[in-house]
Homo-oligomer: A and B are copies of this chain.
Amino acid sequence: MILLLGATGYVGQAFQQYLQQSDLAHTALSRSQVDYTNPQQLRDYLKSENVTFLINAAGYTGKPNVDACEIHKTECLEGNATFPGHLREICEERKLPWGHVSSGCIYTGKNPDGSGFSETDPPNFSFRQNNCSWYSGTKALGEEILEGAENCYIWRLRIPFDNRDNPRNYLTKLLRYERLLDAENSVSQLHEFVSVSYQTWARKLEPGIYNITNPGSITTTKVTQWIAESGIAPGQTFQFFENEEAFLKIAAKTPRSNCVLDTKKIEATGIEITPVEQAIKQALASWQPES
């Protein structure tokens, strides 16, 4: 069976839903059942169960946003760096393949030629560049700790969204925030992210890093136009910060990653993934407001 860690989070819930709907035998392990952050407890659990693949959707993102990670530095570093490090050791001991939800937030901007960052480009929004939030720093350290890991898929998510109103949904954020920052980004339709991630293993692709965002990029302005056109928020107007400096001064404690990722690697596998404009318009067309 497939073992899912972190099933209570926004991404973990989507993984659990995917596994259920796909009729894949799985266990969504909660920390109250087995404290899997304790390496010995996880080792004992794995010895007692027939796990064929482990999915790590646990991580520390900060609530309501990454500013919280500036205060909860220890938990953030544990969730995003040392915890995946333990998983690596444990999975390598057992030769157990596994997947880890990483993030594209370890980059900022795009390449000078306008292209997105590929899996081989070193992170440029990290402690090592001394330009990042604590959150992005810990995510980049997590990837360093997983460098060369055996049988490990590293799935890079960026700004998840779908058609369901939720505080973690990018579209909800655009609808609810008082003022927005215009920026260019790659983004991930949550359920496509989950399905594509799972398939990297199911199709026996080479383990390693995969950028899993909908091909292309969007700007905040563009998405707010699509929201206006969709009719899901009649009469709503969108206010923007003048620039990033104003945003940082007024609304944020720590810099945000805004970046474009290259998706050629995942596209070349033949796994289908919807172009970004289409994916966002589909979410808006089937929008489910909070009930």
Contacts and interface: CB of A to CB of B under 8 A. Distances in A.
Contacts of A38: 38
Contact of A128 (B74, B85, B130): B130
Interface stretch (A76-84, A233-241, A274-282): A76-84
Contact of A77 (B85, B128, B130): B85
Contact of A129 (B82, B85, B130): B130
A230 to B, nearest CB: 43
A38 B39 CA distance: 11
Interface string A51-90: 0000000000000000000000110011001100110110
Contacts of A81: 74, 77
A267 interface: no
Interface residues on A, range: 20 to 34
- Which of A73, A86, A88, A89 has the largest number of chain B CB atoms within 10 A? A73
A134 to B, nearest CB: 8
A175 interface: no
Interface of A: 38, 73-74, 77-78, 81-82, 85-86, 88-89, 126-130, 137, 141, 144-145
Given A128-B128, A130-B130, 11 more contacts: A38-B38, A73-B144, A74-B81, A74-B85, A74-B88, A77-B81, A77-B82, A77-B85, A77-B145, A127-B137, A129-B130
25 contacts: A38-B38, A73-B85, A73-B145, A74-B81, A74-B82, A74-B85, A74-B88, A74-B89, A74-B145, A77-B77, A77-B81, A77-B82, A77-B85, A77-B145, A78-B78, A78-B82, A82-B82, A126-B127, A127-B127, A127-B128, A127-B137, A127-B141, A128-B128, A128-B130, A129-B130
